[in-house]
């Protein structure tokens, strides 16, 4: 689960990071709360992301949007 700002490009950065990690997005939900300036993505992946892949997601979002702290929270739950 990724909570992020509604700045254009954040959703793309998340999708690109999942792809670059070699993971398959089996299902996902995206919701914008434009009045609050927050959005979230919940993605079910075929395998967990490593810490460096999560860091790359955050860096890519900042680079793509030109804003620091565009990713507000990342929560990964691994189900065996």
Q: Could you give the C-alpha distances from 69 to 3, 6, 72, 73, 77, in angstroms and in order?
A: 11, 12, 6, 9, 22
Domains delineated in the chain? 2-74 (3.30.70.260)
Mean per-residue pLDDT for 9-18? 86
**pLDDT(72) > 90:** yes
Q: What are phi and psi for residue 20, nearest 5 degrees?
A: -65, -25
Instruction: Give pTM, 2 decimals.
Output: 0.83
Binned at pLDDT 50, 70 and 90, residue 76 comes out as very high
Contact 69, 17 (CB under 8 A): no
């Amino acid at each position: 689960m990724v909570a992020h700002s509604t700045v254009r490009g954040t959703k793309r950065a998340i999708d690109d990071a999942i792809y670059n990690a070699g993971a398959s997005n089996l299902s996902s939900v995206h919701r914008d709360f434009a009045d609050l300036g927050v959005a979230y993505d919940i993605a079910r992946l075929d395998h967990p992301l490593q810490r460096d892949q999560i860091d790359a997601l955050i860096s890519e979002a900042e680079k793509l949007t030109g804003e620091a702290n565009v990713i507000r929270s990342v929560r990964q739950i691994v189900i065996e």
